[in-house]
Amino acid sequence: MSSEFSFDIISDDITDDRTEKSNGGPIRNNKTLSSSSQVNEFFTKTKESQTCQICVTVYSSSSSTETLKKHLEKKHPTEYQCKFTQTTLNFQQMHPYNHKENFEKSKGLID
């Protein structure tokens, strides 16, 4: 059973407001860039600097997110752990079928 797809090109001049036409290079998204890193909620950013809201340590505005994250990890471990460590969920393991039933059901699915 095959299916065919057809696409109609309406016009090459149609562009989305959020993208720019390609001039041979990659098409870029023109959305305003908002920094969505979770690190940013701990720092106040200005044109010249980024300041930790907890200890008022000042970093250059060009400091990377990774640098700021490392600051949180070393100087504010409690806040870091709350925001950046993954929680492990422990579920009770369930075995609804015994070994023989599980084997038979698996064999039936394979067949």
Position 96 in a domain: no
Q: Which pLDDT tens digits describe the chain residue by residue (111 residues)?
A: 445 554 444 444 444 444 444 455 555 444 334 446 888 899 999 999 999 999 999 999 999 999 999 999 999 999 998 888 877 778 887 778 888 998 898 999 998
Torsion, Cα of 42, 44, 50, 55 (10° steps): -60
**Domain-located, residue 13:** no
Establish if 78 belongs to a structural domain: yes
Whether 10 is covered by a domain: the verdict is no
Q: Is the pTM of this model over 0.75?
A: no
Q: In terms of residue numbers, what domain contains 78?
A: 36-85
Instruction: Give the chain's domain count.
Output: 1
Residues 6+ apart with CB under 8 A from 81: none
3-class state of residue 45 by DSSP: strand
